[in-house]
Amino acid sequence: MKTCRIVGAGDFCTTSLNRNEDSFFIAADKGFKNLTDCGILPDLLVGDFDSLGFVPEFPNILKYPVEKDKTDMQLAVEYALEKDFDLILMYGALGGRLDHSLSNLLLLNYISKQGKKGFIISEDFVVSAITDGELIFSDKAQGVISVFALGEKAEHVTLRGLKYTLDDALLTADSPLGVSNEFLGQKASVSVKNGTLTVLWFGSLDNCLSL
């Protein structure tokens, strides 16, 4: 699968990345510092560079004005979608300013609605969004998993193999019905038939079998 890894300025787990991976790396603004701090040079640098504070001398750079409609992470995601990457992994996308974290969660909705797979990887947990689709988890997954409708209503939501199952349920952004579910040490699945569902689980991406 053609994979793009985007690194932002948020909390960043350096151990989860190395340059040997067959990925295209984009640094979004101060994500450049996050990435180079762990010895990796990006393939592309995107942003207005207000948070980094300087424009690096770098051969492959897309520099935008500070006064723009889109966030640096959004510009990086749009680049990845234009170049037809199937899988977009965002790092350093959470844990800083809450508005930036929320903004990055909405980008998962956007990626999913374009028919691509998107994941935010943080130190402790992973977030994804699925549209009219399914995520399947291995029996190695453990701990908490939560599902949210962050957007239009999510219809026909089915949760299997988890502590609390749902069958063909409706989730809306007015109620946190799907928070704090739990893996049971067995194969599990989360699916939605009409709408977009945000799925957050503690652990790693490896426990998700849907890649």
Q: Does 177 bind its own copies (CB under 8 A)?
A: yes
Pairing mode, strands 196-202 and 144-148: antiparallel
Among 16-24, 30-38, 81-89, 96-104, the segment contacting its own copies (CB under 8 A): 96-104
Task: Specify the residue for token string 């130190």.
Answer: 123
Measured from the CB atom, the residue of 90 and 149 that comes closer to its own copies is 149
> Residue 186 interacts with its own copies (CB under 8 A)?
no
196 near 149, Cβ under 8 Å?
A: yes
Is residue 180 a contact point for its own copies (CB under 8 A)? Answer: yes
H-helix or E-strand containing 74?
helix 72-82
Closest separation in Å from C-beta 94 to its own copies: 7
Our CB check for its own copies shows the closer of 40 and 47 to be: 47
Interface residue with its own copies, options 19, 63, 83, 113 (CB under 8 A):
113
Selected range binding its own copies among 13-21, 34-42, 85-93, 142-150, rule: CB under 8 A: 142-150
Task: Identify the residue among 28, 46, 80, 127 touching its own copies (CB under 8 A).
Answer: 127
The order of strands in the sheet holding 61-63 is 61-63, 44-47, 23-28, 3-7, 87-91, 117-121, 125-131, 196-202, 144-148, 181-182
Query: Which backbone phi and psi does 141 adopt, to 5 degrees?
Result: -65, 135
Q: Does 109 bind its own copies (CB under 8 A)?
A: yes
Q: For binding to its own copies (CB under 8 A), which residues are involved?
A: 69, 71, 74, 94, 97-107, 109-110, 113, 122, 125, 127, 144, 146, 148-153, 164, 172-177, 179-180, 196, 198, 200
